[in-house]
Structure formats: structure tokens, C-alpha cells
Structure 1
Amino acid sequence: MMPSYFVAHGAPLLALEDNSYTRFLKELGGALPRPKAIVIFSAHWESRTQQVSEVEEYSTIYDFGGFSEALYQIKYPAKGNHRVTEKITKAFSQHDVPFEVETTRGLDHGAWVVLRLLYPEADVPVISMSVNPALSPQQQYAIGKSLAALRQEDILIVGSGGTVHNLGAVKLHQDNGQVDNWAVEFDDWLEHQLQHWNLEALFNYKQETPVAELAVPPYGNEHFIPIFYAMGAADDEQSARLAHRSYRYGNLSHSVWQFGE
């Protein structure tokens, strides 16, 4: 049984950096059983109807600006997999999840930065998936749950985002290891709820902790919600393990959670 993961994709510069977090992701890719395919829900692909990619070979999307020219030279030409897309659409149909198949979109940086660190050769098929911030956490969890059977077929399900991701609060010129208390407080709260699989509290995170509005601002919840898709995919086991946690720029969280065994 393949676990599912929530992985923080951080700032695009991670694609060029060598630090404790990038090294962790590289080691994780080497330690996991090699998946037959990866299904990745990216915070940077939002849609009102669930999108499922069916692409022969992905282009690389540079959905950011103002960074080193070297970032725009990176390519991640992963291939899709028609049979896995069919499995996903069949599962969605069986669970009454509305969806559309998308046949042209490339991989945004929420997907390719993470995937390139995990599998740098781009030799594992990828199915890119959108997220919908307008849905309730319960609905997002249910979408992930509908795909749980894929884990039995050695398919890796990943939610890519960030548990603390507030672009209005990050300090891009402060990277000295100091971390804002409110960011740690939210991640500590989240850790406790995840380890107890407390869905009631997690689904009501906005009301459950006073720092939620800072950690998950109303205009930026698309980075937090991939965690519900990844959790839902492991509903049959309901176990969570914090694999990594670190911070950059005062409060940008690099958290990796494993769901299931």
C-alpha cells in the first residue's frame, strides 16, 4: 500500500537551492517504493470543476515572476498515463464527483518543483489535478477518498501546497532562521489534530484556532486545502506522520505529512 503525502512546495527558488529541505525531498524520493504513477493536486491549479489531466508529455509552466533567469530554463518533461487517468475518472463517476478531462495544460511550479526534487529524471508518469477552494474541507476530503483504491496499485497521491503560506506576512529578505510564533502555533495545532485524525476540528480550522487567519488567509486557502485531498486518500487507515517541518522567511512552512503506511 502506497502512502499519500502532503508536501510543501515553498518558493520557486527551491528548484535551484541545496538546503535541508531540498535534500530531504531528494532522500524521500529515493526511500519510497517506486510508484507506477503520481497523482498530484497542486495549489496553483484552481478550478470550480475538478480537472483531471490527460497529457502525453507535459510542458513546464513558469507561473511566477522576478526570479533568477536560471529558473526559466528548467524543464520537467514528465509524461502522463492514459490508463491512470481512466482509473481516476471511473472512480470519480462511481463516487459522483463532477470532473472534466484537461488535455493541454502543463505542470505549474506547485507540481514540478516538488516532482523534480522527488524524481529528477521525470521518469514517473504524472496525472496533474486541480483544487477547488470554494468547496468545503469535507468535499475536498471526499474527492481524495474516492481515489483511495489507487494506493493499492502503487500509485502515489500527493497534495502540494503549504500549511502556513501567507504572502502578505513572509519576509523574503529575512532568512536567518527566526520563526514567527503564530506560524509555529498553527503548525503545532495542526500536528495535534492530524495525529488524532480529528476531522471535526480540521474541517473547522478557521474557528478552532485564533491564528488560522494568519496561517491560512482567506485569499490564500488554496495552499492549505491540498492537505484534505491527501488525507482523504488515506481515510481507510487514518494515520498521520510528520516527516519534515522547517521554515523560511520568518513563517513560510516547509511541512511534509505522510498519511497511511
Structure 2
Amino acid sequence: MNSISNTVLPEHLLQQLKPSPRMPVMFIGHGSPMNVIEDTHWRQSWKAMGQELSAKGIAPQLILCVSAHWLSESDWSLTGMAQPRTIHDFGGFPQELFDQRYPAPGAPEVAKQLAAQLHSPLDNSALLVDHDWGFDHGTWSVLLPMFPEAKIPVMQLSMPYGLAPEKHFEMGRQLRALRDKGVLIVGSGNVVHNLRAMRRDVADNQAFDWTIQFDNEVQQRFDSGNLADLSTFLDWGPQARLAHPTHDHYLPLLYAAGAVQDGEAPRIFNAAYQYGALSMRSAIWGLNA
């Protein structure tokens, strides 16, 4: 069990983010919450990614995470508390999973600054600052293996679910500038996510035809660099509705893709499947910049 510590917010984050070497941006397929406590190769890859970032001297001032599990109505919100709680937003799992904590600090003053700096693509209004949410499992389940010391301040950005996909991509475009201020942007969801179709008896290299087809179509956009076209996924045919009966797990990809700078090529990892109906495909851009 990871106990909560009295982490002190770094002094430089009490005022403002400082210019820094450009941070990468990543999209992570997080899959089942069990991945955080089982020694799966997904978890191993998240741990290895954190170790690689550290070895390359990539030290974020802040991690901004967009998770599939924080949906808002019509406005965007940023978590603004000093010590965000760990949310166990699931049921029917072992107690060990509920015992997990991710005690990373928040960044209240930075949240206020970013809420004023960013604006809604709908009406140009400022973002809201939230003091109730915390870290849902889309955030802490991947950050815990990646940054186990939980010393880097973390902030979540909500997603207004009812908006057109291109509006989410537009918000991602605004996040690009934050990468030059020491912010590591992490989108956490799944390229394919259909819980009703899951088959727990299939191997990680097996999936439904529609899972593979939709997964390949996303990879084609990665390869071409036409990331804006990821917003058109609802027009790709019946496989899109099978891949995402609801598209909450797809939307974080649009934020990550929007934050990619022109010409940045992705490095793909975890290009496989879980339970036949989840794509764990993940990507990081700008790691070697």
C-alpha cells in the first residue's frame, strides 16, 4: 500500500511555470485497473517509460493529465487542490487495488493561472478550477508505475463529453504551448474500448476484426501525421461504433494529438490488445526533441 505523505509543493510552482526544454506528450492506453497491481507487460512498459525519461534528464515541473474518467458537462475544469485525493472509481476488484494511493501534490496557484490563460473553444471563456475531483484511476494507475515517488505536481483537466470531437482537439492545440513551460501532457484512455465485448479468455495478440481495423486506422493517422483527422473517427464506418459505444476513452487521444508539434513523429509502444476489445496502443511524441 502506498501511504499518503506530506509532500510540499515546490517553491517555483507557487508562482508560475518557468520556461524549460520542451516536454514530450503521450497517449497511454490504460486498460483494466488491475494493470497497476499485476505484473503485466503494460505496467512494465509504463515503469520503463518513467525510467527512460529520468535517464534522459526529462524532469517535468508539472504533469497535466486528461483522463477518460473525468467527464464534465459543458465546461472544462482543472483540479486546483493542494493535495488531490486518490479516487477508486470502480467496483468488484480486490482490496489491494482499493488500497493504492498516489499522493502527488497539486498546484493550486498554477491551476488558477492556467484556468485564466486557457479558454473554451466554444465561447472563449476561462476554464473553471475544481476542488472536489482528485486523481481518478485513468491518471494514477499509469503515473504510479511511471513516477512512483509521486513528487511531481499533477493536475487533471476534465472533458466536456457532449461537445463535438474537434473541440477537444482544439483544446489540445492550446496545450501545446505548455510543453515549453515544463508541462508533461498525458492523455489516458484507449484507442479501442468496448467493455461489453470483452473476452477475458483471449491472448493479448488476439482481437476482434473491428478492434484491429479501428486500431489500424488510428495508426495510419499517426504515420501520416494527419492528427487532426483523428477527430473524424465517428465517420470511419460501423467499426467506430463497435470500437467506442461511448467515446470517453477515445477523447483523451485528441488532447494528446492536439498538443503535438508539427513534424513530431510518434514512438509507438504497447501495440497490442487486452481482452479482445481493448487496444492498448500508446504513443509518445517529442521524446528525442
Structure 2 length-normalised TM:
0.83
Closer, same or farther: CA 98–173 of 1 in aligned 2, 3 Å: farther
Which of 66, 69, 72 is 1:41 aligned to?
Answer: 66
Structure 1 residue 84, shift from structure 2 partner: 2.9
Q: Which residue matches 2:3?
A: none
Q: Which residue matches 1:228?
A: 254
Q: Distance in 1 between matches of 2:249 and 2:239?
A: 16
> How large is the Cα RMSD of the aligned pairs?
1.9
Which of 210, 214, 217 is 1:189 aligned to?
Answer: 217
Structure 1 residue 216, shift from structure 2 partner: 1.6
Q: Which amino acid in structure 2 is aligned with residue 19 of structure 1?
A: T
Q: Which residue matches 1:19?
A: 40
Which of 163, 167, 189 is 1:135 aligned to?
Answer: 163
Specify the SS of the correspondent of 2:65: strand
Structure 1 length-normalised TM:
0.92
Q: Which residue matches 2:180?
A: 152
User: Quick check: 1:84–1:127 contact (8 Å CA) kept in 2?
Assistant: no
Shifted more, 173-182 versus 111-120: the winner is 173-182
Asked if 1:79 is matched to 2:105, the reply is yes
Q: Which amino acid in structure 2 is aligned with residue 202 of structure 1?
A: L
Q: Which amino acid in structure 2 is aligned with residue 29 of structure 1?
A: G
Q: Distance in 1 between matches of 2:38 and 2:196?
A: 23
Q: What pairs with 1:112-261 in structure 2 (closer than 5 Å)?
A: 112-175=140-203, 177-199=205-227, 201-217=229-245, 220-237=246-263, 239-260=265-286, 261=289
Q: Runs of 5+ in structure 2 lacking a partner?
A: 1-21
Asked if 1:31 is matched to 2:52, the reply is yes
Specify the SS of the correspondent of 1:159: strand
Q: Which amino acid in structure 1 is aligned with residue 39 of structure 2?
A: D
Specify the SS of the correspondent of 1:245: coil
1:108-163 C-alpha deviation (Å, 9 max, x unpaired): 11111011121111111001111122112221011111121110122101111101
**Paired residues, number:** 259
Specify the SS of the correspondent of 1:223: coil
User: Quick check: 1:3–1:157 contact (8 Å CA) kept in 2?
Assistant: yes
Q: Which residue matches 1:66?
A: 92
1:160-214 C-alpha deviation (Å, 9 max, x unpaired): 1101100111113444643222211111111011221325642221212441111
Q: Distance in 1 between matches of 2:238 and 2:176?
A: 32
Shifted more, 139-148 versus 236-245: the winner is 236-245
User: Quick check: 1:143–1:229 contact (8 Å CA) kept in 2?
Assistant: yes
Q: Runs of 5+ in structure 1 lacking a partner?
A: none
Specify the SS of the correspondent of 1:39: strand
Q: Distance in 2 between matches of 1:161 and 1:199?
A: 17
Which of 42, 57, 65 is 2:83 aligned to?
Answer: 57
Specify the SS of the correspondent of 2:68: strand
Structure 1 residue 236, shift from structure 2 partner: 4.4
Structure 1 residue 82, shift from structure 2 partner: 2.7
Closer, same or farther: CA 91–243 of 1 in aligned 2, 3 Å: farther
Q: Distance in 2 between matches of 1:8 and 1:183?
A: 14
Q: Distance in 2 between matches of 1:129 and 1:249?
A: 28
User: Quick check: 1:21–1:246 contact (8 Å CA) kept in 2?
Assistant: no
User: Quick check: 1:88–1:147 contact (8 Å CA) kept in 2?
Assistant: no
Kindly indicate which of the two structures has a greater share of residues assigned to strand.
Answer: 1
